């Protein structure tokens, strides 16, 4: 059974002739303990889809089910629980930091959502370990003392403190250098393999998606035009748009290293 399922999910902005159909009847599932990548160019609707999944936008139609419950009919209290179990990591790790906060103080803001202080501290330390840090090495550091990749891993650790069932990463590597992107993608793979976290990655880069994801959803102008295992989508694409995205990748080896065949 899928952890998250969307059935005919849609989102329209505006009305009449000026209406923008950002997501058109998307139907898909996210399997427990898997990584699913949503791929498409700017304007494809993938970030709108992400905000629908996160509950940051109301849908215009369709349904979403999470862990057996209808997300579109949740009460406020149920929504609060949902927002703990579904955490997000966004594009810009630089703006996410208050420049005067240490890593410890930044993570303390999430710790306040955990009733037991000792439990909150344990979760903080565990989360930092899961993203590849020794606690003593980073806990007292300020943003200017960290690389972009390290900051993004801190953002992932902050999300992990809530022990989410679903982690959604919206273009989480797009502002990083190539080597740092690989490090962050490897963190996602480790979370899947070691914690069984279900991960949904939003990206314009089908090469990155192929490296990290078990399944791939391809979006074009609001339509979900293709979906399947990453191997099937990459090595046997059915839709012309998918073929175009693949043609734009010079090699499916390179900065991301050996891909899974």
The confidence score (pLDDT) of residue 99 equals 82
Interacting residues of 156 by C-beta distance below 8 A, sequence separation 6+: 89, 131, 167, 169, 172, 184, 187, 191
Instruction: Dig out the tokens for 102 from the structure.
Output: 């240490």
pLDDT at 13 > cutoff 50: yes
What six digits make up the tokens of 221?
A: 């102008």
pLDDT tens for 127-166 read 999 999 999 999 999 988 988 888 889 999 999 998 999 9
Give the pTM.
0.90
What pLDDT does residue 227 have? 97
pLDDT > 90: what percent of the chain? 59
pLDDT at residue 251, rounded to an integer: 54
- Mean pLDDT (whole number) for 248-259: 52
> pLDDT at position 113, please?
76
Residues 6+ apart with CB under 8 A from 258: none
Residue 93 has pLDDT above 70, yes or no: no
Which residue is it, tokens 């000792």? 118
At the topology level, CATH places domain 4-96+164-247 in Rossmann fold (3.40.50)
**What confidence tens digit (pLDDT) does each residue in 215-248 have?**
999 999 999 999 999 999 999 999 999 999 998 7
User: Average pLDDT of the chain?
Assistant: 88
Q: Where are the domains of the chain?
A: 4-96+164-247
Instruction: Look at 23-32, 40-49, 72-81, 121-130 and tell me which has the smallest mean pLDDT.
Output: 72-81
* Range name among 14-18, 76-80, 129-133, 211-215 with the lowest pLDDT average: 76-80
Q: How far is CA 203 from CA 52, 208, 219, in A?
A: 16, 8, 11
Segment 178-187 mean pLDDT: 85
Which are the contacts of 61, defined by CB distance < 8 A and separation ≥ 6? 8, 9, 10, 25
Per-residue tokens: 203: 């990206």
Backbone angles phi, psi at 78, to 5 degrees: -65, -35
pLDDT reported for residue 85? 93
pLDDT on residue 198: 97
């Amino acid at each position: 059974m899928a952890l998250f399922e969307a059935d005919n999910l849609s989102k329209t902005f505006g009305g009449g002739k000026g209406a923008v159909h950002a997501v058109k009847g998307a139907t898909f599932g996210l399997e427990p303990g898997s990584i699913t990548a949503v791929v498409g160019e700017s304007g494809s609707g993938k970030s709108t889809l992400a905000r629908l999944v996160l509950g940051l936008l109301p849908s215009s139609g369709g349904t979403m089910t999470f862990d057996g419950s209808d997300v579109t009919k949740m009460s406020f209290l149920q929504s609060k629980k949902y927002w703990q179990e579904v955490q997000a990591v966004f594009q810009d790790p630089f703006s996410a930091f208050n420049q005067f906060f240490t890593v410890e103080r930044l993570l303390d803001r999430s710790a306040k959502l955990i009733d037991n202080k000792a439990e909150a501290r344990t979760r903080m330390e565990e989360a930092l370990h899961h993203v590849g840090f020794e606690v003593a090495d980073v806990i007292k550091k300020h943003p200017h003392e960290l690389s972009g990749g390290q900051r993004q891993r801190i953002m992932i650790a902050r999300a992990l403190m809530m022990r989410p069932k679903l982690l959604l990463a919206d273009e989480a590597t797009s502002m990083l250098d190539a080597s740092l992107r690989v490090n962050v993608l490897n963190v996602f793979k480790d979370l899947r393999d070691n914690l069984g976290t279900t991960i949904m990655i939003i990206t314009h880069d089908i090469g990155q998606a192929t490296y990290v994801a078990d399944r791939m959803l391809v979006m074009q102008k609001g339509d979900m035009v293709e979906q399947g295992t990453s191997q099937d989508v990459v090595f046997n694409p059915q839709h012309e748009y998918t073929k175009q995205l693949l043609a734009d990748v010079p090699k499916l080896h390179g900065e991301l290293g050996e891909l899974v065949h």
